Structure 1
Amino acid sequence: MPALLSLENVYVDFERDGVISSVLDNVSLSVNTGEYISIIGHSGCGKSTLLNVVAGLVPLTLGAALLGNKEITGPGPDRAVVFQNHSLLPWMTVYENVRLAVDKIYGGKETMSQLHERAMTNLDLVKMTHAVKKRPGEISGGMKQRVGIARALAMEPKVLLLDEPFGALDALTRGHLQDTVMALHSRIKATVLMITHDVDEAVLLADRVVMMTNGPKATIGKIVDVRCPRPRTRLSAFQDPEFLRCRQEIVAFLEQHDKVAQELTPA
């Protein structure tokens, strides 16, 4: 079965004031339909650049990025991004924020009743139907992220891109949203790429954890298969020897590259 998403020998360089900086160096990755991939690494390792390549926001210097065997040349509704900042429009209600995405993709193709049902179905997926008339300023940070996820899911993208979606939340809210995302992934079998700095989160949610080497010229240093059974809960996963094995392998990789970075830093 061919991969849904394929990055083939990807290089990304940025130029500023005549100086070229190499961010990604020969990155190759295949992602299957329904697979959940966590991407982790130290700051400056090109995680966000890699996600933006898939989103179509950053052009390649060399290589190819393919989605469904079609080259990614720009943004499109087949990929939806959820950022650390919820990015909701503050003057719109929860319902209107989700409906905006629904109308953009399906407006003119479906009846008003069908469009309404799409918006409500996705709000129900994230348990936010009780707040449809509230504006972002009237709900908590965790609720805002739930709405952001609902808006992304309402587009029915082939790939859901999560850029540290829980990074600004407190530990308790973060845990609840991790549970929500696990339940959603189990229910709708979404294909997900997620950036995170949290090792436990990376292992808990993913089928594979992709570890990036330090930048500049960052690449994929190692990939860990997470063989913890699904469905998962945080309590069962944290007690699973497989979870602990993956966690130790990732921590060892990050510590090794932290030492390398310190050795290369001028005194």
Structure 2
Amino acid sequence: MHAYLKVDHVDKAFTRGTATTQVLRDVTLTIERGEFVSIIGHSGCGKSTLLNLIAGLTPVSAGAILLENKEVNAPGPDRAVVFQNHSLLPWLSVYDNVRLAVDKVFGAGKTRAERRDWVMHNLDLVQMVHAKDKRPSEISGGMKQRVGLARALSMEPKILLLDEPFGALDALTRAHLQDQVMEIHARLGATTIMITHDVDEAALLSDRIVMMTNGPSATIGDILGVPLPRPRRRLELAANPTYLRTREAVLKFLYERHRFVEAA
């Protein structure tokens, strides 16, 4: 039986002039349909590079990435990315930013009325229907990220890729969006991979946490399962022994890597 997504002995190197930098080395990972997996590690460990490889935004140097046993070698609507920078088009309304993606993916398969309904459905998922006629400059950072998430979900991707989507937000907005992502994941069962620096975020949201060694030539140092039942409520988890053990294990892994960097 094939894994839903398989990263198979992947290397990634970048060459600039005569210099070559090995960013990732022999990365192997399998992800099952419906899983929520976080990737965490120190800056420069290749987290975002790995996400870009899965998105097809950059080619692997060696190995292969397979989605439903088909090789990933180019971008596609089956892998939607939400970046830390919302990447909304500033001259389009909230509605039109999402509609652009819907028209691209479903222009031949849905009528105009069906596409409109689908845009509104996805805006409703992220509670942004009230702002559908506003432009990005007229809404907050958290609202922009909601629109970016709606746009990604509207494509009905097989994999939702989140590249530190809450990193630039204040703590309260981040908490609200984390809760919303958990609700959406529970409702849709979307296979999700998230890059994060936030240990608490990883422990709260994930089924598994992939911990990367330091770069260059980073690889997977350990994978930690998070056996917390869903739905999860952050206040109830504050004193949960499993949550605290998970958080402690990730912190210990990262702290040991930090000591290694300082000693080098």
- Superposed CA deviations along residues 11-58 of structure 1, whole A, max 9, x for unmatched, are 111101111110001000000000000000000000001000100012
Aligned residue-pair number: 264
* Matched-pair contact (CA < 8 Å) for 1:56–1:76: yes
- Superposed CA deviations along residues 208-258 of structure 1, whole A, max 9, x for unmatched, are 000000000000000110011100111122221111000000000000000
Query: 1:239 and 1:132 mapped to 2: Cα distance?
Result: 39
List gaps (5 residues or longer) in structure 1. Answer: none
Moved more, 237-246 or 64-73: 237-246
For residues 64-213 of structure 1, what are the structure 2 equivalents within 5 Å?
Answer: 64-213=64-213
Query: 2:49 and 2:68 mapped to 1: Cα distance?
Result: 21
Query: 1:231 and 1:197 mapped to 2: Cα distance?
Result: 23
* Matched-pair contact (CA < 8 Å) for 1:228–1:240: no
Query: 1:92 and 1:58 mapped to 2: Cα distance?
Result: 28
**4+ aligned runs moved over 2 Å, structure 1:** none
* Matched-pair contact (CA < 8 Å) for 1:122–1:150: yes
Amino acid at match of 1:218: A
- What residue is the counterpart of 1:54 in the other structure? 54
Query: 1:174 and 1:9 mapped to 2: Cα distance?
Result: 34
Tell me the TM-score normalised to structure 1 length.
Answer: 0.98
Identity among equivalent pairs (%):
61
* Matched-pair contact (CA < 8 Å) for 1:79–1:158: yes
Query: 2:33 and 2:2 mapped to 1: Cα distance?
Result: 9
- What residue is the counterpart of 1:22 in the other structure? 22
* Matched-pair contact (CA < 8 Å) for 1:228–1:237: no
* Matched-pair contact (CA < 8 Å) for 1:24–1:217: yes
Query: Does residue 261 of structure 1 match 2:261?
Result: yes
Tell me the TM-score normalised to structure 2 length.
Answer: 0.99
Query: 1:112 and 1:56 mapped to 2: Cα distance?
Result: 29
- What residue is the counterpart of 2:7 in the other structure? 7
Amino acid at match of 1:182: M
SS at match of 2:160: strand
Query: 2:251 and 2:170 mapped to 1: Cα distance?
Result: 22
- Superposed CA deviations along residues 96-150 of structure 1, whole A, max 9, x for unmatched, are 0000000000012211110001100000000111111111111111000000000
- Superposed CA deviations along residues 53-73 of structure 1, whole A, max 9, x for unmatched, are 100012111111000100001
- Superposed CA deviations along residues 131-181 of structure 1, whole A, max 9, x for unmatched, are 111111111110000000000000000000000000000000000000000
Amino acid at match of 1:194: M
- Superposed CA deviations along residues 174-207 of structure 1, whole A, max 9, x for unmatched, are 0000000000000000000000000000110000
Query: 1:238 and 1:97 mapped to 2: Cα distance?
Result: 37
